[in-house]
Amino acid sequence: MPSPMEMRRALGGFATGVTVVTTRSLISEVSPGRDAGLTVNSFNSVSLDPPLVLWSLSKHSQLLPTFAAATHYAVHVLHAGQQALAVRFASALEDRFSGLMLHRGPADVPLLDDYLSRFVCCIRDRIDGGDHVILLGEVTHADTRDVDALTYWRGQYGQLESA
């Protein structure tokens, strides 16, 4: 059986795009609603009809309770000019949304205005995935723009030109 380190190294050979997944924490007696988001490369397609996507969230993430309570999320596939945004949403920064242009989707989910592709999703299922939780989403809106892609491979950001 591969060790976690061997898994990490081997999975690093799988080149991916880079996304930022956002949601909004629910208002409760103890806290007001708050925008939340993180950089994710476990995003993937599942089904075209019905339209389903998934990504997995580490059980060590401080955002686990937020996504455990959320009803919706938005996936922003990043373009080649958004490496700094990927770094920001993977950092320990408290307010990752500061200065970003956005508007609101269902359940007040923050929708970033700048992206390559964007998927607005209703959470359909949460599936246990070892040290991650798989969040299966039903896509309610999807669109894309003709710009170069941000990529991630062997721990490095790169880019792919659109044809």
The residue among 4 and 146 lying less far from ligand FMN, judged by its C-beta, is 4
Under the phi-then-psi rule, with left for phi > 0, alpha for psi from -120 to 50, and beta for the rest, what region is 48?
alpha
Which of these ranges, 4-12, 36-44, 114-122, 134-142, lies near ligand FMN under the rule CB under 6 A? 36-44
- Does the protein bind ligand FMN through residue 56 (CB under 6 A)? yes
Q: How many residues bind ligand FMN (CB under 6 A)?
A: 15
Distance CA 63, CA 104 (A): 20
The residue among 78 and 111 lying less far from ligand FMN, judged by its C-beta, is 78
Which of these ranges, 22-30, 40-48, 117-125, 140-148, lies near ligand FMN under the rule CB under 6 A? 40-48
Q: Is 58:51 a contact under the CB 8 Å cutoff?
A: no
- Does the protein bind ligand FMN through residue 134 (CB under 6 A)? no
- Does the protein bind ligand FMN through residue 18 (CB under 6 A)? yes
Give me the torsion for CA of 109, 110, 113, 114, rounded to 10°. Answer: -110
Which of 73, 115, 119, 152 forms a contact with ligand FMN (CB under 6 A)?
A: 152
- Does the protein bind ligand FMN through residue 83 (CB under 6 A)? no
Distance CA 120, CA 141 (A): 5
The residue among 40 and 111 lying less far from ligand FMN, judged by its C-beta, is 40
> HEC profile for 58-114?
ECCCCCHHHHHHCCEEEEEECEHHHHHHHHHHCCCCCCCCCCCCEEECHHHCEEECC
Interface positions with ligand FMN (CB under 6 A): 18, 38-42, 55-58, 61-63, 90, 152
